[in-house]
Homo-oligomer: A and B are copies of this chain.
Amino acid sequence: MNAEALSAPPMPGDAAALIADMGARARAASKTLALAPTADKVAGLVAAAAQIRARAADILAANAEDMAAGQKNGLSGAMLDRLQLDDGRLAAIADAIDDVAALPDPSGAEIDRVTRPNGLVLSRVRVPLGVVGIIYESRPNVTADAAALGLMSGNAVILRGGSEAVHSNRALHAAFAAGLVEAGLPADAVQLVPTQDRAAVGAMLRAQGLIDIIIPRGGKGLVARVQDEARVPVLAHLDGINHLYIDGTADPAKAVELAINAKMRRTGVCGATETILIDRAYPAPLAIVDALVKAGCEVRGDKAILALSPHVDAASAGDWDTEYLDAIVSIAMVDGLAGALAHIDAHSSRHTDAIVTEDAAAAERFLTGVDSAIVMHNASTQFADGGEFGLGAEIGIATGRLHARGPVALEGLTTYKWLVRGTGQVRP
């Protein structure tokens, strides 16, 4: 069965009409999903994963089209790498859907319950948000990941992928939707915007009442545009300008190991450390600098760090506010915990910041005093990840303060309602 044909709306020239039509269909599907038993959603996910495996040849052929176009259009090596699928990556995409199917269903879970003196029993119960819009760039795996998280949490999703992955996204979406239909779920539960016209993104961002939340997945340019234009609430993932503070009492072996891991394990992820702060009282700063240099990292330091080693370049003022996403680190010497807190307050993007210390009281002051989505003690900032946090998957790491903060997975795609059970109580 061609699920894409089933779910494809007419192609009006008017982006607002297109999104209004998709939104209405998504709303209708969301009402079915909100009441769907967990077993039905699991069956849909398992069938979607099976369809992706069964259609591997088609999906890889579609991806080859995207890769050819990308090479012709001069995409960077990094972008081509994000775009490329192969047997292993496609198997991982299907397996990730099965992994989501194995997670606990958040919808219907009771958050709390209280009996009032008048006998009314109040409870808060999680329910899906409704219709979730995902706007993303080159990685085709987001098509399947977002669809799976949306479905499992009982939401309908409207996906708008990047033009460089258009064939891959269509093939993955068609497979996913075919799985849903096979399992008796509405194909409109997961819709892919059928045009790459940028006006469709604008229409999604202004679709109040049709789309309940927009989640942008991509670079700064995309996220900034979404935040700037959106009239629909946005769950945004901004910079990860993350700090690792080496306290005076830090264990030197841990300090070196954590600095290397936090900065260098993978330099392109949002949880990578970008700035290391070293307490002036810490006895072995040079060992940290040397280890980073030896690991292939460019070190940019303030005057005190610059004086330590000929391998350090002078940091400019802008370095303290830069997310390198590369093998570059800025290092500053600070006056103890207070100096670290002041630097972090001034420069952190409030994503993930960590302290290395053997002083439990200093650790607690840091955990309390740093106002970031994730604050760590004696752990690598690279753990900032929904999978590592036990959430099973993540749709993003929210750097805002409302609704959800840090890694967002199934629970972040729900809201709650209040249930009040009485026996005829009237209000005096």
Which residues of A are interface residues toward B (Cβ below 8 A)? 31, 34-35, 108, 114, 116, 120, 122, 127, 129-130, 212-213, 233, 251, 254, 257-258, 260-262, 265, 345, 354, 363, 367-369, 371-380, 382-383, 388-390, 400-403, 405-407, 415-427
Top 9 A-B pairs ranked by shortest CB distance?
A379-B422, A261-B426, A254-B424, A376-B420, A382-B427, A403-B403, A378-B422, A374-B418, A402-B403
Closest to A251 in B: B424
Main secondary structure on A side of the interface with B: mixed
Q: Is the CB of B120 within 8 A of A379?
A: yes
Q: 8 A-B contacts, Cβ less than 8 Å apart? A: A35-B368, A108-B368, A114-B390, A212-B401, A213-B402, A254-B424, A376-B420, A405-B416
Q: Is the CB of A127 within 8 A of B371?
A: yes
Closest to A262 in B: B426
Q: Is the CB of A426 within 8 A of B233?
A: no
Minimum CB–CB distance from A149 to chain B (whole Å) comes to 17
Neighbour of A405 across the interface among B367, B376, B390, B415, CB < 8 A = B415
Q: How far is the CA of A233 from the CA of B403 in the complex (A)?
A: 10
> What residues of B have a CB within 8 angstroms of the CB of A378 in the complex?
421-425
A390-B426 in contact given A369-B35, A405-B416, A420-B374 (Cβ < 8 Å): no
Q: Is the CB of A426 within 8 A of B212?
A: no
Q: Is the CB of B390 within 8 A of A417?
A: no
> What residues of B have a CB within 8 angstroms of the CB of A377 in the complex?
419-422
Q: How far is the CA of A371 from the CA of B415 in the complex (A)?
A: 11
A258-B417 in contact given A402-B129, A402-B213 (Cβ < 8 Å): no
Q: Is the CB of B367 within 8 A of A419?
A: yes
> What residues of B have a CB within 8 angstroms of the CB of A260 in the complex?
426
Q: Is the CB of B388 within 8 A of A419?
A: no
Q: Is the CB of B415 within 8 A of A401?
A: yes
> What residues of B have a CB within 8 angstroms of the CB of A420 in the complex?
354, 374-377, 379, 383
Q: Is the CB of A257 within 8 A of B424?
A: yes
Which of A403, A405, A406, A426 is most buried by chain B, counting CB atoms within 10 A of its CB? A426
Which of A369, A382, A422 is most buried by chain B, counting CB atoms within 10 A of its CB? A422
Q: How far is the CA of A403 from the CA of B31 in the complex (A)?
A: 21
Q: Is the CB of A379 within 8 A of B114?
A: no
Q: How far is the CA of A406 from the CA of B127 in the complex (A)?
A: 13
Q: Is the CB of A122 within 8 A of B380?
A: no
Q: Is the CB of A130 within 8 A of B379?
A: no
> What residues of B have a CB within 8 angstroms of the CB of A345 in the complex?
31
Q: How far is the CA of A258 from the CA of B422 in the complex (A)?
A: 11
> What residues of B have a CB within 8 angstroms of the CB of A416 in the complex?
405
Neighbour of A116 across the interface among B130, B390, B423, CB < 8 A = B390
> What residues of B have a CB within 8 angstroms of the CB of A419 in the complex?
367, 375-377
Minimum CB–CB distance from A259 to chain B (whole Å) comes to 10
Minimum CB–CB distance from A367 to chain B (whole Å) comes to 5
Q: Is the CB of B417 within 8 A of A379?
A: no
Besides A31-B371, A265-B426, A379-B421, 10 more A-B contacts (Cβ < 8 Å) are A127-B371, A233-B233, A374-B417, A374-B418, A375-B420, A377-B422, A378-B424, A380-B425, A383-B420, A405-B415
Closest to A123 in B: B367
Q: How far is the CA of A254 from the CA of B423 in the complex (A)?
A: 9
Neighbour of A389 across the interface among B122, B382, B389, CB < 8 A = B122
> What residues of B have a CB within 8 angstroms of the CB of A35 in the complex?
368-369
Minimum CB–CB distance from A112 to chain B (whole Å) comes to 10
Closest to A232 in B: B402
Q: Is the CB of A417 within 8 A of B427?
A: no
Minimum CB–CB distance from A311 to chain B (whole Å) comes to 23
Closest to A117 in B: B390
> What residues of B have a CB within 8 angstroms of the CB of A425 in the complex?
378-380, 383
Q: How far is the CA of A425 from the CA of B380 in the complex (A)?
A: 6
> What residues of B have a CB within 8 angstroms of the CB of A400 in the complex?
233
A402-B34 in contact given A251-B424, A420-B379 (Cβ < 8 Å): no
